[in-house]
Amino acid sequence: MNSGRQSGVALLAILGLAVTGTAWSASAETLATTQLPSGAIIQDCADCPEVVVIPPGEFRMGYDGGEEGRYEGPERDVTIGYAFALGRYAITNAQYARFIEHSGHPTSTGCNTWDASSGQLGRQPDSSWRDPGHGRPIRDDEPVVCISWLDAQAYVQWLSETTGQHYRLPTEAEWEYVARNRTTTKFPWGDDTASACDHANVPGTRTAEAWGLAWSHFDCEDRFVGLAPVGAFSPNSFGVYDIIGNAWEWVEDCYLVPYPDTPVDGSAALAAGDCDRRSVRGGSWITAPFRQRPSWRGRDPEPHLSFIFGVRIVRVLQ
């Protein structure tokens, strides 16, 4: 379906209230002139990812600290003066499979996966999003992983062409604004680690034992050992699911340390020339607690493939 000609836009939540079993459709032209409320859910086609409207706002970005060589600051005030729509969930295997089928985009291989028996992380030549090292078949409703930043860019370009709408990756500022969940605490649910397993798919005692983790984990009993289906935990205050834990998420920005003085308006920080590493955010089901904080920034080359790297998308509203 090309929404430049005929767009189906389902608003599944009006004024932030779920409308069960009811969908309202509008043309792309009608949507463009409609002021969508915060929390409204948009789906541009039956197989398209759902996105939720995020309101403008201000927040304190970054953290004046971090691991050696991974400074997370300086802290700065960011004002996002526009609404945007962020994926309710990470992109799933089913959604990515549809992209591969209809676009002809080649499947990237050589994913870095974890071997629990040897306790080693390494590149597996045949590993890809179709077989990311779970030790079992992938599931349609899990986040797609083992995709690169370049693959993620190809996906949003295809989705834009398919729907006639503008899709892109989130910026670091947009991502952190939503991930902080209108809080100033260490984690979106507070400062404690004991309740983490109630809020996100993060490594607790079961994952630590099953995988023999050599790094720290949360002191709670995790519900899943490995990837969880999207939406398995409650959404945050913006209506977004799984933004912490489960799978890391590529963002648009070039990884620049320390943060440059600008931008502070929600837009992406980009290098003047080539970008050797892109930022990745959010932690995963196997990531140490310190790296699950909203301010922590991963950094990897654009072609990098990891069994814990996926993507969440933004739909531009203006």
Domains of the chain listed by start with CATH number: 92-313 (3.90.1580.10)
* 108-113 mean pLDDT: 96
Q: What tokens appear for 91 in the block?
A: 């992109």
Flag whether pLDDT at 117 surpasses 90. no
Are 38 and 150 contacting, i.e. CB atoms less than 8 angstroms apart? no
Instruction: Kindly state the DSSP code that residue 120 receives in the 8-state scheme.
Output: E
pTM of the model: 0.90
Are 164 and 4 contacting, i.e. CB atoms less than 8 angstroms apart? yes
What single letter denotes the amino acid at residue 226?
Answer: G
* Separation CA 144–CA 314 (nearest Å): 16
Q: Is the Cα torsion angle 71, 89, 171, 311 positive or negative in sign?
A: positive
The pLDDT-based confidence of 199 (bands split at 50, 70, 90) is very high
Instruction: Kindly state the DSSP code that residue 198 receives in the 8-state scheme.
Output: H
Which residues, at least 6 apart from 110, have a Cβ–Cβ distance to it below 8 Å? 123, 124, 125, 127, 128, 305
User: For the segment 122-180, what is each residue's pLDDT rounded down to a tens digit?
Assistant: 999 999 999 999 989 999 999 999 999 999 999 999 999 999 999 999 999 999 999 99
Strand partners for 121: 114
Which residues, at least 6 apart from 102, have a Cβ–Cβ distance to it below 8 Å? 158, 162
Flag whether pLDDT at 41 surpasses 50. yes
Are 16 and 38 contacting, i.e. CB atoms less than 8 angstroms apart? yes
Q: What tokens appear for 278 in the block?
A: 């892109």
Please report the pLDDT score of residue 214 as a whole number: 87
What do you get for the CA distance between the two ends of the chain, in Å? 21
What single letter denotes the amino acid at residue 14?
Answer: I
Preceding peptide of 203 cis, ω within 30°: no
User: For the segment 2-36, what is each residue's pLDDT rounded down to a tens digit?
Assistant: 433 233 344 443 333 333 222 333 445 455 546 88
Please report the pLDDT score of residue 318 as a whole number: 76
Other residues' Cβ atoms within 10 Å of the Cβ of residue 16: 14
